Structure 1
Amino acid sequence: MAVLKSGTRVFAVLFAVGLFPVSIGALAQTREPSPPVLDKKNRKVWLQPGYIDFLMGSESYPPRHSRSASASASSIHTAIARQMVAYATHEKPGTIIIETQDRALYLVQPNGRALRYSIGVGREGYGWRGTERISSKREWPEWRPPADMLARRPDLPAHMAGGPDNPLGARALYLGNTLYRIHGSNEPGSVGQSSSSGCFRMTNDDVVDLSRRVKVGTKVVVL
């Protein structure tokens, strides 16, 4: 569909195969553009906000102020409620496996299963992989932005006490001697996206649940 240049032809295809689930009016009210995403499981094409303007005759897509089409598409992930799933791995039960591409954290369980949590991951240039262990756990942790973050964002405070407004949320699981953490968030909408500086964000409810299930010393594998 991306190669079709005519908005009329795109609409014709979408309506012909029954893959157009949202109204034009709803899309016209949105601002951030990104290209169509095919949900293969449910056989639907979701036209993301702003794309409707392109189909209706906009001179360029995406608009100059927006991110590139590929970057927008890669960041479209929907947070999924934690659930028990089938999961094949050689890691022992109790191990945490983070699959950054799928925005998912798996807590390995016995008998080929795992508890799956949705997470937010590092944006482009801040992702990483490796193996660490949980070195400490903290409730409602304080936050001190690292020097490089303060250099990028001088508007940030040098220190923020723990609490509902703190970006680290309700719990933080520290990974080895690194600056990286698995933590909650004061912005649950960022879970499922690639927007962090390398840490792994969870909803406060999920990070509290995970923190209860793991202990200091737990192995964490980041893929």
Structure 2
Amino acid sequence: MFPTRRSLLAGTPLLVAGCVTREPRPVAALRPPVDPAYTALYAALDGEPFPVPAVDLSAIDPRFLRREVAYATAEPPGTIVVDPSARYAYLVREGGRAIRYGVGVGRDEAFNFRGAAVIARKAEWPRWTPTQAMVKREPERYGPYAGGLPGGAGNPLGPRALYLYRDGGDTLYRLHGTTEPQTIGTMVSSGCVRFLNQDIIDLYARVPVGSRAVVLAASGTAAS
């Protein structure tokens, strides 16, 4: 269940698979109380092999919390549409509706994938391996992980990952969770699209392998 429009209004305050943060943007120190419906939506999750703690909603701009919205698009239901400019991802539904998730994206346009892809693979608690380009660019930072980092609480991909493929090949871009929830709504990653952990778990359960994904250009239009 999603928070109602009334409850939301009542609580609304004033090129690579590295998927790691460069420089997190500061978060406002004080925010009005969080709607209780969202407290439940982003509570700690049981039943996972590693901890999924509750999200500190005081550190998240309420605009980027999950909700169902009206969404006009030519894409068919079941498509994931990522709008890097707005820092939203939409799961298109019937009747001009969508589930909207706040996301973090690449720190500039050059780091963001653009265009259509297919979710060709899904993984729970995925392994993370920096690309060769990342290791070459920052050997001290990424070299120790060149062999990969097993899934777990400290893995930058979080509890779930959806892998974007194009023309049968891995684009090296993923939709995934995060160890830095305060970066949702910002442009700080090395290119992948990060979600709050509760949100990527929700999306993962709704999207089968073979689903279409579209990442818009910075202008908000589809790129070829």
Query: TM-score normalized by structure 1?
Result: 0.64
Structure 1 match to 2:29 = none
Displacement of 1:128:
3.0
Asked whether 1:114 is paired with 2:104, we answer: no
Alpha carbons 2:64, 2:184 under 8 Å: kept:
no
Q: Distance in 1 between matches of 2:128 and 2:68?
A: 32
Structure 2 match to 1:56 = none
SS of equivalent residue, structure 1 residue 102: coil
Q: Distance in 2 between matches of 1:128 and 1:166?
A: 22
Match of 1:80 among 43, 59, 64: 64
SS of equivalent residue, structure 1 residue 209: helix
Report which of the two structures shows the higher radius of gyration computed on alpha carbons.
Answer: 1
Match of 1:151 among 132, 136, 157: 136
Q: Distance in 1 between matches of 2:181 and 2:155?
A: 12
Query: Which residues in structure 2 correspond to 1:128-167 (within 5 Å)?
Result: 128-154=113-139, 155-156=141-142, 157-158=145-146, 159-167=148-156
Displacement of 1:153:
2.4
1:1-60 alpha-carbon deviations (Å, 9 max, x no partner): xxxxxxxxxxxxxxxxxxxx8xxxxxxxxxx89xxxxxxxxxxxxxxxxxxxxxxxxxxx
Displacement of 1:123:
1.1
Q: Distance in 2 between matches of 1:186 and 1:218?
A: 26
Q: After the TM superposition, which segments of 4 or more aligned residues of structure 1 sit over 6 Å from their partners?
A: none
Structure 1 match to 2:176 = 183
Aligned-pair Cα RMSD in Å: 1.7
Query: Which residues in structure 2 correspond to 1:1-223 (within 5 Å)?
Result: 78=61, 80-124=64-108, 125-154=110-139, 155-156=141-142, 157-158=145-146, 159-176=148-165, 177-223=170-216
Displacement of 1:205:
0.6
SS of equivalent residue, structure 2 residue 135: helix
Identity %: 49
Q: Distance in 2 between matches of 1:213 and 1:128?
A: 22
Alpha carbons 2:106, 2:189 under 8 Å: kept:
yes
Letter of the 1:170 partner, please give it: P
Q: Distance in 1 between matches of 2:113 and 2:161?
A: 18
Structure 2 match to 1:49 = none
Displacement of 1:152:
2.5
Q: Distance in 2 between matches of 1:151 and 1:185?
A: 24
Alpha carbons 2:156, 2:179 under 8 Å: kept:
yes
Query: TM-score normalized by structure 2?
Result: 0.64
Letter of the 2:123 partner, please give it: R
Displacement of 1:94:
0.7
Aligned residues: 150
Q: Which is further off, 78-87 or 210-219?
A: 78-87
Q: Unaligned regions of 5+ residues in structure 1, if any? A: 1-20, 22-31, 34-76
Q: Unaligned regions of 5+ residues in structure 2, if any? A: 1-13, 15-24, 27-59, 217-224
Q: Distance in 2 between matches of 1:197 and 1:132?
A: 19
RCO higher in structure (CA 8 A, sep ≥6): 2
